[in-house]
Amino acid sequence: MERYQKIIQHELYKSAYEKIYKAEENREFCHHDMEHFLAVARLTYIFVLEQNLPMSKDVVYALGFLHDIGRCKEYEDGTPHEEAGMDIAGEILPACGYDKEECAMILQIIGDHRNKDCFLHPCSAIFYQADKISRNCQECNAYHQCYWSEEKKNHKYTY
Q: Which is nearer to Fe ion, 83 or 99 (CB)?
A: 83
Q: Which of the ranges 70-78, 82-90, 93-101, 124-132 carries the binding residues for Fe ion, by CB under 5 A?
A: 124-132
Q: Which is nearer to Fe ion, 68 or 102 (CB)?
A: 68
- CB of 73 within 8 A of CB of 79? yes
What gap in Å lies between CA 105 and CA 5, rounded to an integer? 19
Interface with Fe ion in residues 13-52 (CB under 5 A): none
Does position 131 bind Fe ion by CB under 5 A? yes
Number of amino acids touching Fe ion (CB under 5 A): 2
CA angle 99, 110, 79 (to 5 degrees): 120
Does position 74 bind Fe ion by CB under 5 A? no
Closest CA to 85 of 59, 65, 115, 100: 65
Tell me the DSSP string of 54-88: S--HHHHHHHHHHTTTTHHHHHHH---HHHHHHHH
Q: Which is nearer to Fe ion, 97 or 120 (CB)?
A: 120
In the set 4, 41, 55, 68, which binds Fe ion (CB under 5 A)? 68
The CB density around residue 152, as the number of other CB atoms within 10 Å, is 12
Q: Which is nearer to Fe ion, 99 or 117 (CB)?
A: 117
The residue ranges that bind Fe ion (CB under 5 A) are 68, 131
